[in-house]
Chain A
């Protein structure tokens, strides 16, 4: 049994079916991404998983406990970060964390230690006496992550945690999540920044118009898409993008490539070359042979790798409710 299971979950608001019969699961220590366009039903699903909303049908199970029937027990196991910060005015960082530690019924030394550990882990030491309202977005986000961690939950539910952060803050935040996953915490994260999820996640679920489009391992999904793309290109006799890496910069690379038949859109940037050629294997093998014979020091020759963005675009149609 997986640590988290979403079983045939549906949620309607009147005529609007925010989530329709979606199912997926992931294990302890996994970082699981949840991808979908705006209004796809990501936040609704996350709120139900966080016990904050009820499903119209179906259920979510966390460590064998239903988020509807055993909400109180599930709440001890999860930390939820909504897309809004949920910060109180007129409070310092330490007071904010202390409030949540008290609210999670941590007492005495355990509470003080939890606050200090959280400040330390989220690198809030320098701002611990600052008022929350004066913090930057990145700092607020770290503080909210700290709030989620104060009671040492087994799973984190993070709803678009990187939205609005600058690149540095985003990288720092991502590093914190990696450490948490290494500690064995499951992380369920939604984000619009797909490159970030690609690097972080073991698995993803893609949702569109409240329906699950696909779910699974990121690598498997990319391989599947690549395969589909290749087959599709072959069937339609389309060109595919080939990426070539040279071991050294070659002065005649552009000239050699210009002489090759059946290739187009050649882009040479020092040691890196990309071009389009027919999708069949014979044409690609012939091209590789010709380029080596022409003296190009090729150390990498492959169809361009599909990234999560490709997977997302391939799987979804850009529809919103």
Chain B
């Protein structure tokens, strides 16, 4: 018989050591949750409904039949219940936890403790996970009972136990990101709704997949036969899951950072890392799905995605201030060892933002160029697709660069008075992009109705022009040449600006006039 009152010394020391290392928010939230009526209500609800489901299945009468599916059925019912607990309830509770944490009177106190936002986000996420484990423990006895009945194999259990927690973690990450986006009451309610819809939207397909015995059995069967596509698909899904969650959590933490702190390195770094990951994943897993003789054209996948990723990075990177705050300056001068070599790109400020943008554009272009140059033109249809996609990539990169450069010039000079913050600059750049697409389009419609040639306006309109050049590249050789020259020139100007502003001046961060007054209630 074990004397539980006498804990071995090593165990005691280990528990103390472990407790010491735990995230403070995790410790606090778990202590609070254990006294929280809502948490206890959900826990006992799961326990009650789980018990009731067991009784109903057990009393259905077909439990003892040789071909009984009672075990599987019970497990699926319990999985729906479990999923509701750890996907919907848990992610909503993560959303609520961030909102409560950010309430003025307590958020100030947490901010003052020098707990970094990443610790706060990690603590909140861990809390959600531990809460999920507690919900699981409410249903665990019934799940064991389901296994003892017939019709359930271990693979279904394993798959469910991997899939639901994985989906639950992503749902929590989405909720935390939504909650970090704003601290304004109205927007907060809207984002809460968005978070709920996203969570429910994730919940139903996940549970439907698990509940459909045909799909789950087929999946397991193919997996056990090491089907290349299934293995590759799983690897890709796992990769997307890791990078996607990491991105959401890093974005969330950056949103909580102090205004004068370095809020660029994390998001820009993870964005570029995700792109690199996409390229590597395409090269590794692409051949598993693609049965052609040549694989280089697969590079067009990251290249096409890279066009959008680069545009977004440019939108954020270019719009930052050139001058840095002393805190950002310190981050550049004394970075962490592992990121030191990349600070010329991922460091804060518009100069480094420009370098990152140019670098990513170059990589994107090179991917498309390698695919274009190495592809065997013998297959006419595929060859045409490769040509079109290559044209799409380089023309898009040029249009984006020109658009960003012009909007950057405007908001830093003529319109400086109105767009003096990065957020306003981004809004302006997006508006500018919309305008240069819409106005020529209206002119095209008017000219077309009057029988006048619209070719010039078609080609200078980014979205319209790109697709025209993709369809009929030979008809627009002159335009393509002009666009290439202008695009290259815009990249050179951006690089020149980056070099000229690389050795920043220090900027004292001051409050904006529009900043919320916490005293105003």
Per-residue CB contact flags for chain A residues 45-87 toward chain B (1 = under 8 Å, else 0) read 0010011111111010000001011111001101010101111
Structural contact, A82 and B108, CB atoms closer than 8 A: yes
Nearest CB in chain A to that of B108: its residue? A52
Task: Of the listed stretches A9-17, A234-242, A272-280, A300-308, name the one at the interface; the rest are far from the partner chain.
Answer: A9-17
Question: Which of these, A66, A90, A95, A147, contacts B109 with CB under 8 Å?
Answer: A147
Structural contact, A53 and B511, CB atoms closer than 8 A: yes
Structural contact, A52 and B112, CB atoms closer than 8 A: yes
Nearest CB of chain B from residue A170's CB, rounded to whole Å: 22
Nearest CB in chain B to that of A69: its residue? B326
Structural contact, A68 and B20, CB atoms closer than 8 A: no
User: With a CB–CB cut-off of 8 A, which chain B residues contact A11?
Assistant: 511
Structural contact, B111 and A12, CB atoms closer than 8 A: no
Q: Is B514 an interface residue (CB 8 A)?
A: yes
Nearest CB in chain B to that of A96: its residue? B28
Structural contact, B111 and A91, CB atoms closer than 8 A: no
Structural contact, B20 and A55, CB atoms closer than 8 A: no
Q: Is B509 an interface residue (CB 8 A)?
A: yes
Q: Is A103 an interface residue (CB 8 A)?
A: yes
Q: Is B380 an interface residue (CB 8 A)?
A: no
Structural contact, B36 and A90, CB atoms closer than 8 A: yes
Q: Is B58 an interface residue (CB 8 A)?
A: no
Structural contact, B32 and A100, CB atoms closer than 8 A: no
Give CA–CA (A15, B413) in the complex, Å.
26
Per-residue CB contact flags for chain B residues 473-510 toward chain A (1 = under 8 Å, else 0) read 00000000000000000000000000000000000111
* Also in contact, A104 and B113, with CB within 8 A (given A69-B327, A90-B36, A91-B32): yes
Structural contact, B109 and A86, CB atoms closer than 8 A: yes
User: With a CB–CB cut-off of 8 A, which chain A residues contact B109?
Assistant: 80, 82, 86, 100, 147
Structural contact, B260 and A68, CB atoms closer than 8 A: yes
Question: Quick one: which of B104-142 are within 8 Å of A by CB?
Answer: 104-106, 108-115
Task: Tally chain A residues at the interface, Cβ within 8 Å.
Answer: 51
User: With a CB–CB cut-off of 8 A, which chain B residues contact A82?
Assistant: 105, 108-109
Structural contact, B32 and A80, CB atoms closer than 8 A: no
Structural contact, B511 and A55, CB atoms closer than 8 A: yes
Question: Which of these, A16, A69, A84, A91, contacts B28 with CB under 8 Å?
Answer: A91
Per-residue CB contact flags for chain A residues 257-277 toward chain B (1 = under 8 Å, else 0) read 000000000000000000000
Q: Is A89 an interface residue (CB 8 A)?
A: yes
Q: Is A107 an interface residue (CB 8 A)?
A: yes
User: With a CB–CB cut-off of 8 A, which chain B residues contact A95?
Assistant: 28, 31
Question: Quick one: which of B32-76 are within 8 Å of A by CB?
Answer: 32-33, 35-36
Q: Is B515 an interface residue (CB 8 A)?
A: yes
Question: Which of these, B110, B114, B520, contacts A13 with CB under 8 Å?
Answer: B520
Structural contact, A86 and B27, CB atoms closer than 8 A: no
Q: Is A43 an interface residue (CB 8 A)?
A: yes
Per-residue CB contact flags for chain A residues 5-41 toward chain B (1 = under 8 Å, else 0) read 0000001111010100000000000000000000000
User: With a CB–CB cut-off of 8 A, which chain A residues contact B112?
Assistant: 50-52, 75, 78, 80
Question: Which of these, B28, B106, B509, contacts A68 with CB under 8 Å?
Answer: B509
Q: Is B185 an interface residue (CB 8 A)?
A: no
User: With a CB–CB cut-off of 8 A, which chain A residues contact B325?
Assistant: 69
Structural contact, B24 and A99, CB atoms closer than 8 A: yes
Nearest CB of chain A from residue B103's CB, rounded to whole Å: 9
Give CA–CA (A89, B518) in the complex, Å.
22
Structural contact, A69 and B508, CB atoms closer than 8 A: yes
Give CA–CA (A104, B518) in the complex, Å.
24
Nearest CB of chain A from residue B21's CB, rounded to whole Å: 8
Give CA–CA (A137, B265) in the complex, Å.
44
Structural contact, B517 and A91, CB atoms closer than 8 A: no
Give CA–CA (A8, B513) in the complex, Å.
17
Structural contact, B31 and A90, CB atoms closer than 8 A: yes
Structural contact, A13 and B513, CB atoms closer than 8 A: yes
Structural contact, A57 and B514, CB atoms closer than 8 A: no
Nearest CB in chain B to that of A95: its residue? B31
User: With a CB–CB cut-off of 8 A, which chain B residues contact A147?
Assistant: 109
User: With a CB–CB cut-off of 8 A, which chain A residues contact B106?
Assistant: 86-88
Give CA–CA (A167, B33) in the complex, Å.
36
Structural contact, B32 and A108, CB atoms closer than 8 A: no
* Also in contact, A75 and B32, with CB within 8 A (given A54-B510, A68-B509, A102-B27): no
User: With a CB–CB cut-off of 8 A, which chain A residues contact B114?
Assistant: 72, 75-76, 103-105
Question: Which of these, B20, B27, B105, B259, contacts A107 with CB under 8 Å?
Answer: B20
Nearest CB of chain A from residue B23's CB, rounded to whole Å: 8
Question: Quick one: which of B83-121 are within 8 Å of A by CB?
Answer: 104-106, 108-115
Give CA–CA (A23, B327) in the complex, Å.
24
User: With a CB–CB cut-off of 8 A, which chain B residues contact A98?
Assistant: 27
Per-residue CB contact flags for chain A residues 238-258 toward chain B (1 = under 8 Å, else 0) read 000000000000000000000
Structural contact, A68 and B508, CB atoms closer than 8 A: yes
Q: Is A44 an interface residue (CB 8 A)?
A: yes
Nearest CB of chain A from residue B35's CB, rounded to whole Å: 4
Nearest CB of chain B from residue A214's CB, rounded to whole Å: 24
Give CA–CA (A44, B113) in the complex, Å.
20
Give CA–CA (A53, B512) in the complex, Å.
11
Q: Is A111 an interface residue (CB 8 A)?
A: yes
Q: Is B333 an interface residue (CB 8 A)?
A: no
Question: Which of these, B24, B32, B326, contacts A103 with CB under 8 Å?
Answer: B24
Nearest CB in chain A to that of B35: its residue? A90
* Also in contact, A103 and B113, with CB within 8 A (given A80-B108, A91-B28): yes
Structural contact, A103 and B115, CB atoms closer than 8 A: yes
Question: Which of these, B32, B105, B258, B518, contacts A86 with CB under 8 Å?
Answer: B105
Give CA–CA (A86, B112) in the complex, Å.
12
Give CA–CA (A72, B258) in the complex, Å.
10
Structural contact, B31 and A53, CB atoms closer than 8 A: no
Give CA–CA (A84, B107) in the complex, Å.
12
Q: Is B16 an interface residue (CB 8 A)?
A: yes
Give CA–CA (A86, B113) in the complex, Å.
13
User: With a CB–CB cut-off of 8 A, which chain A residues contact B514?
Assistant: 14
Per-residue CB contact flags for chain B residues 237-266 toward chain A (1 = under 8 Å, else 0) read 000000000000000000000111000000
Give CA–CA (A85, B508) in the complex, Å.
32
User: With a CB–CB cut-off of 8 A, which chain A residues contact B517?
Assistant: 13, 16, 18
Structural contact, A44 and B519, CB atoms closer than 8 A: yes
Given contacts A13-B516, A71-B258, A71-B327, 19 further A-B contacts (CB under 8 A): A12-B513, A18-B517, A18-B519, A43-B519, A53-B511, A56-B513, A68-B509, A69-B260, A70-B327, A71-B260, A80-B109, A80-B112, A86-B108, A90-B32, A99-B24, A102-B22, A103-B25, A103-B113, A105-B114
Q: What 6 pairs between A and B have smallest CB-CB spacing?
A: A102-B24, A103-B113, A54-B511, A69-B326, A90-B35, A13-B517
A residues adjacent to B (C-beta < 8 A): 11-14, 16, 18, 43-44, 47, 50-57, 59, 66, 68-72, 75-76, 78, 80, 82, 84-91, 95, 98-100, 102-105, 107-108, 111, 131, 147, 151
Of the A-B pairs whose beta carbons lie under 8 Å apart in the complex, a sample of 9, sorted by A's number, is A13-B517, A47-B108, A50-B108, A76-B114, A86-B108, A90-B36, A95-B28, A99-B28, A100-B113
